[in-house]
Amino acid sequence: MAITGLRCRECRTEFPAEALYVCDQCFGPLEVAYELGGSLDAREAKRKIQAGPDGIWRYADFLPFAERPRDRLQPGMTPLVRAERLAERLGIDELYVKNDAANPTHSFKDRVVAVAIAKAVELGFETIACASTGNLANAVAAHSAAAGLDSYVFVPADLEEQKLLATAIYGTELVGVDGSYDDVNRLCTELCEARPWAFVNVNLRPYYAEGSKTLAYETAEQLGWQLPDRVVCPIASGSLFTKIAKGFGEWLDLGLVEGELPAFNGAQAEGCGPVAEAWSQGWDVCRPQRPATIAKSLAIGNPADGPYALELAARSGGGVDQVSDEEIRDGIRLLAETTGIFTETAGGVTIATLQKLAERGDIDRSERVVAYITGEGLKTLDANRESFAMHRIEPGVESFERVVEASLAQSASS
């Protein structure tokens, strides 16, 4: 696939492959356009992928670069884990968890940032910036440090402490804004006009978004060049959700996989669920919300790709659901106890939504389902802080028997 430029998603006007993101004709968003090179030899293409690097750059031929960029952190090729015990609980035969916490900065954002920064370097930028709900901040700071570039990271000031620490450590200029993510994003759009910076999710957004396609490619490759029947995926701006579909769609068009697009189920938190609200109301655009949820990484009240996410959910036979903070906490625990994977609140949203779909009978037992776990539990420790108790004992066997074994025996008999 050769990049031909950028194209407006609304009016299809074409633009050169530069740091552009909005159509000057209709104000629609731009995306990367490719030429799907005529007759592809699928076997040869698969061989080339498998001989490539052990990360997202094995898919460089499907990303917006003429040559494979140099990348020091090598995100991607995260485990696709068969989750038998979780599947059994939910009454599904074939369930997988794509554990994207296993990335260099412990979220899927390493994929999008790696692609955006590679493009920023190609276009000659020397300073990287972003508007973040947390994980993007971590990834931009780390990948900028790895590439030797200056960076500015803008976040809502009330973010989880773990995410602030795991950003500042890389030597970025961390800017906490007294406001919501939507305020931060608006500020960055203004700053972007007058500064020669690459804002990965503003003026480089078309390239940034392409990074999410690698989650689809990996899923298909790890399933033995097959597609799932259904995916469950969290929605913040809706970029990840829609670009996973773009990735599957491209490989279907190219003949690298067969079948049809999986059903796409989006997952949001009740405290910030503009896409889920629009879905349940039958609207084709979202009404902006003021976020109030423990799932801060998903707290975008005015999602840029909301209408496209709604369109995808409808077209693929999926849907969009929202879950409460309590259900999110339970989802984090359920995943941890049945798979050994500790996810952040966004993963709790995904698992709680998966559970809701299963309980409602929306998932056929025979379906092959993939749930996307996009971030790491150690970054949102407060979410489950109150949910466990520690046995506290003296350093002696008598104390262990009295405090631990006796109380376990008692609770087993009651």
105 binds ligand PLP, rule: CB under 6 A: no
Q: Which tokens go with 173?
A: 């200029």
What kind and span of H or E run contains 264? strand 263-269
Pick what 297 binds: ligand PLP, Zn ion, none; C-beta below 5 to 8 Å, kind-dependent.
Answer: ligand PLP
107 binds ligand PLP, rule: CB under 6 A: yes
Shortest approach of ligand PLP to residue 37 CB, angstroms?
28
122, 374, 2, 47 alpha-carbon torsion, rounded to 10° = 120
Q: Which is nearer to ligand PLP, 108 or 197 (CB)?
A: 108
162 binds ligand PLP, rule: CB under 6 A: no
In the set 156, 228, 247, 375, which binds ligand PLP (CB under 6 A)? Answer: 375
374 binds ligand PLP, rule: CB under 6 A: yes
- Residue partners of 272: CB distance under 8 A and separation at least 6: 289, 291, 292, 293, 295, 298, 299, 300, 301
Number of residues this chain uses to bind ligand PLP (CB under 6 A): 17
297 binds ligand PLP, rule: CB under 6 A: yes
Q: Which tokens go with 268?
A: 């949001």
Shortest approach of ligand PLP to residue 183 CB, angstroms?
16
C-alpha torsion sign, points 52, 56, 59, 64:
negative
246-248-251 Cα angle (round to 5): 105
In the set 140, 236, 341, 371, which binds ligand PLP (CB under 6 A)? Answer: 236
Shortest approach of ligand PLP to residue 126 CB, angstroms?
25
Pick what 109 binds: ligand PLP, Zn ion, none; C-beta below 5 to 8 Å, kind-dependent.
Answer: ligand PLP
Q: What is the DSSP letter of 135?
A: H
SS3 183: helix
Shortest approach of Zn ion to residue 10 CB, angstroms?
5
Q: Which is nearer to ligand PLP, 152 or 241 (CB)?
A: 241
Shortest approach of ligand PLP to residue 179 CB, angstroms?
18
237 binds ligand PLP, rule: CB under 6 A: yes
Q: Which is nearer to ligand PLP, 239 or 293 (CB)?
A: 239
Distance of CA 142 to the CA centre of its chain: 17
Return the residues of window 309-338 that contact ligand PLP according to CB under 6 A.
Answer: none
C-alpha torsion sign, points 331, 335, 337, 341:
negative
| CB 256 within 8 Å of CB 227 | no
C-alpha to C-alpha distances, 187 to 199, 286, 312, nearest whole angstrom: 12, 21, 29
129 binds ligand PLP, rule: CB under 6 A: no
Pick what 23 binds: ligand PLP, Zn ion, none; C-beta below 5 to 8 Å, kind-dependent.
Answer: Zn ion
Q: Which tokens go with 56?
A: 């997202």
Contacting positions for ligand PLP (CB under 6 A): 107, 109, 135, 234-241, 297-298, 344, 346, 374-375
